[in-house]
Structure 1
Amino acid sequence: MFKVSNETKVGILAAVSIAMLILGFNLLKGKSLFSKTKKIYAIYSQVNGLQPSNPVQVNGLVVGNVSNLEIMDKNAGKILVELRITKKIDIPQNSVARIASDLLGTKSVQIDFGNANAYLEDGDTIYAAVDGSITDALKEQLSPLVKKLEGTLGSVDSVLLTVNSIFDPSTKGNLREAIAHLNTTMNNFTRTSASLNSMLDPQHGNVKATFDNLESLTANLKNNNDKINAILGNAEKTTAALANGQLDKTLLELQQMATRLNETIAKLNSTDGSIGLMLNDKKVYNNLQNSLNSLNKLLEDLRVNPKRYVHFSLFGKKAKVQPIPSDTAKTL
């Protein structure tokens, strides 16, 4: 039986490894060793970071890749880009290969088909173009705005120069004072607006509380409508009774009563009657006071010595007379 030596096995393994390495390197570069490809070339003055293996697209479809980039002169003014087309497509001769980039900065070559009836063959050169970068697009959009801004700033500068030439120092001071007052007014307006907002707050504002109170008041009026009607009816009856009654007669009687009361008080103040003498004559008052004192002593003696006035004894013995307490108190 044929026996393979170890050296042969090592050689075969090394050859297979080298072949796999070459195949993998070409695959990473976008080259295929087993498919038929077509090479076309494009010459650019700048490639905007284009690298080998970047895709070549037609209408968004990847039809190949960039296989190589070479400098054509020492100043790098021209760069030759080799495009490997792997799809079986016909590219018109007046087509354009544009270097484009997406928002993430990934570069690609976009082929825009022309309308020629003749097609590019292997090794032909295609027209080249480079799309502007996002920065270039922004510059292009901002350039008119910058020009307008410069014109506006120039106008503002002219206006300020004119204002400075018109306004003297006193006028400038007055203007500053007016602006300060305007700021104060705006601050007051802001506080007023905040107060109004707090008052108009639908949850805790004073206006809401006022409307709630008004609603409660109207509800109470509605609930007590019958009572209010009864009170108004009673008031109407009272006024009708007063209107229909002899109010004038009652007032006349009250006036006559007041006149009689005045006459009575006048008699009391005079010394014509007994009551008047009693109220106005001091002697009458003293006599009355002495009479009352005598009456009090009599009653006191009656209480202390009752046998002096009512004598009743079976043996005929006379009771001893006791002094009354008031006389004893005076003696002491």
Structure 2
Amino acid sequence: MKNKGLELKVGIFLLLGFVALGAFIFSKGLLVLRKEGYEIKVAFSFVSGLEPGAPVRVSGVRVGEVKGMEIIYQEKPKVIVTLWLNEKVKLRRGSQILIRSIGLIGDRYVEIMPTSFTDTPLIGDKDFIQGIDPIPMERLVNLGEDMIRDVTQVLSAANEILSDKEMKISLNKIFKDFLALTKGGNELISKIDSLVGKTEGSVTAFKNLLETNKENLQATVANSKQVTVNLKESTEKINKFLKIAEEGKSTFGKLVKDEKLYSDLRSVLAEIETSALSFRQSAKEFNVTLSKIASEKGTIGKLISSDELHQEALSLLKEIREHPWRLLRTPKGEK
């Protein structure tokens, strides 16, 4: 009875141990309940410690696991990693597949970054994809060491420069000159800004002036074009006239060529000028006469300006209209 009780206790203890181990494995993702899915193959040049069973995540969500790995020996060896993905996962060509780690030196896993394009074909079962190789930790460490070494050298050189008194004086002078130059540059920039503002104002005013006088300017340009055309036509006519005159084909040309006609024309022009002078003299005398009439000098002037004479003249005209035969009556003493 004692042996049976001991065996029962041992059995219960082992059962609890197996249950705890199974729960641990399941919680760590080492055990995946098989569901419907598909496999894809990804090629890497370096997997940085990735192991079979490592999780596969899409945008941080676990969707599968690393099923296996195989090295292909060729000119440059490749590692073909087989990934199992849940059937609900739909990936398109152009998605990025990387190997990352949880933390700085944590476990490795595969991260898939889906593409944003929706017109590329879907990745299917057994499809082959090129992955993005991880950066080896040694390379990162070496890069950090190189950076630290470079910074140390720069700090050492700066310390040597600052410890030199002459160098300090030179640097101080350079710094002061730089401040003065900066101040002058700021003043120059202010002047340039002011000049630009004035220029913009002038341009705006000129633009407004053009807009206001747009019609006048257009009319002026049109008139200038017409004047140019008229001037061109006049020039052509003058040239044509001079050419005809030189050839002596027209009356003017013959007049220019014939000295006798030229002399006769001068005589005619002289007579015309004399007649014009006489006409001007007669007009002047006529104006004087009109002035005298207007000033009531002479019989005509008095007749025009005198109301009494004007009335008598009207009475005489009326009498003649009514009794015209009186003009034929012979005065007494005449036969």
TM-score if structure 2 supplies the norm length?
Answer: 0.35
Which structure would you say has the larger Rg?
1
TM-score (norm 1): 0.35
